[in-house]
Structure 1
Amino acid sequence: MIIDGVEMRGVEVGDAGGLADVLARNRVYMAPFEPWRSEVFFTKEGQVARIEALLAERDGGRLAPYVLVEAATGAPVGTINLGSISLGPFRSGGVGYWVDQAWAGKGLATAALEEVCRIARDEIGLHRVEAGTLVDNVASQRVLAKAGFEQYGLAPRYLHINGAWRDHRLFQRLLHDDPPL
């Protein structure tokens, strides 16, 4: 349990229907922060294809995808992914997350981010985790700050979000200073 009533576990193809439902329900809420998505993305079939791609990335050691589920029902309420995993001397990864609007502001994203950083450090052996937010996404910036991330830069026209190339604030959390294994 990462927060009262919610568990974090590896995503599975069986999560596709629940993820399609919660994503469709949060479509308008998340639109200002997300890339354009086709209609298929918001269907069970679209989520099956997406999850299969995530699992292939996981199997290649490049991604650790997780789903946040209500403990009582198993219903998804968000996801968090540690991607772009690079080992060797870099030992870094990037994190992306979202939570259902009904769970926003309750500490869920912060708890999930802290758990992913623990996994990145203790299980994968990463030195750092990075994240980016839209310049005006103050809520996500607060989540990152609460989880020990520090802003280290600004990336102009970094990602194509909601129909345009958008500037992003870049954050990182250094996990340890041990030499690479």
Structure 2
Amino acid sequence: MFTVTDLADGIDLRPLELADSSELAAAYVRNRAHLAPWEPARSDEFFTEAAQAADLRSKVAATAAGSAYSLGLFDGTTIVGRFNLSGIVRGPFQNAGLGYWVDAQYAGRGLATAVVQAIVRVARDDLGLHRVEASTLLHNHGSQRVLRKAGFEHIGMAPSYLRIAGTWQDHNLYQVILHR
């Protein structure tokens, strides 16, 4: 469902598996400084294979339950990005949240845009979702461009929305309506 091959120059998207925990830890270590301004403050433990294996176990279980999908962007066997479609709610809401990052050395190549567009298509066509939401820090103009290119619209600003880099920070809120 979420496997996309040859996004660009042999870069593929596929669901993350428990066997990817070592490579995922390496990706986080490699991108620690790059991601620090955009993510929650992380303990040193977060960057270990054991912590990533524990996280992937919960993500694999969530995928089996249909409540989330954790995807890796791969250049060969190297993880160069992570995309999470999470908090999937069924019933009258039919909603999910989207979060993502791309490796510092791969940023600016249009990969995030291509993947977010693919995720939106799957969310609409395969998952039957009505809406996908995402948020960005107010100054994250690159991510805002990605979302707009994928059809998301700005719907507001949430004060002190998430604790990022150790501080409660305001976020712009975006959504894409998939079925009207």
TM-score, normalised on structure 1?
0.94
5+ residue gaps, structure 2, are: none
SS in 2 for 1:15: helix
Distance 2:13 2:68 in 1: 16
Aligned to 1:59: 64
CA distance in 1, matches of 2:67, 2:113: 23
Displacement of 1:151: 0.3
Check if 1:160 corresponds to 2:163. yes
Report the CA distance between 1:119 and its aligned residue.
1.1
Task: Say if 2:28 is the partner of 1:30.
Answer: no
Cα distance in 1 for residues equivalent to 2:54 and 2:100? 19
1:15 and 1:47 map into 2 onto residues whose CA distance is 9
Q: Provide the rounded CA distance (Å) in 1 between the counterparts of 2:95 and 2:8.
A: 26
The 2-side partners of 1:123 and 1:3 are apart by 23
Matches within 5 A, 1:125-136: 125-136=128-139
How much is the aligned-residue C-alpha RMSD, in angstroms? 1.0
TM-score by length of 2: 0.94
Q: 1:21 offset after TM fit, Å?
A: 0.8
Ranges of 4+ aligned residues in structure 1 off by more than 6 Å: none
Q: State the Cα deviation string for residues 40-63 of structure 1 (Å, max 9, x = none).
A: 111111110110111122222210
One-letter amino acid matched to 2:142: A
Aligned equivalent of 1:121: 124
- The residue matched to 2:151 in structure 1 has which SS? coil
Aligned mates of 2:117, 2:73 — CA distance in 1: 13
The DSSP-based 3-state class of the residue aligned with 1:18 is helix
Superposition deviation, residue 175 in structure 1: 1.2
SS in 1 for 2:14: strand
User: Any idea what SS the aligned residue of 1:56 has?
Assistant: helix
Q: What is residue 138 of structure 1 aligned with on the other side?
A: 141
In 2, the alpha carbon distance for the partners of 1:87 and 1:3 equals 33
User: How far apart, in 1, do the equivalents of 2:166 and 2:177 lie?
Assistant: 32
Q: CA deviation at 1:3?
A: 2.8
1:44 aligns with 2:49: yes
Quick check: 1:155–1:170 contact (8 Å CA) kept in 2?
yes
Aligned residues: 175
Written as runs of structure 1 = structure 2, the 5 A alignment for 1:1-40 is 1=5, 2-40=7-45
Once the two structures are superposed, residues 67-95 of structure 1 have per-residue CA deviations (whole angstroms, 9 ceiling, x without a partner) of: 1111xx22110110111111111111110
Unmatched segments (≥5 aa) in structure 1: none
Q: Aligned partners of 2:25 and 2:118: how far apart in 1?
A: 24
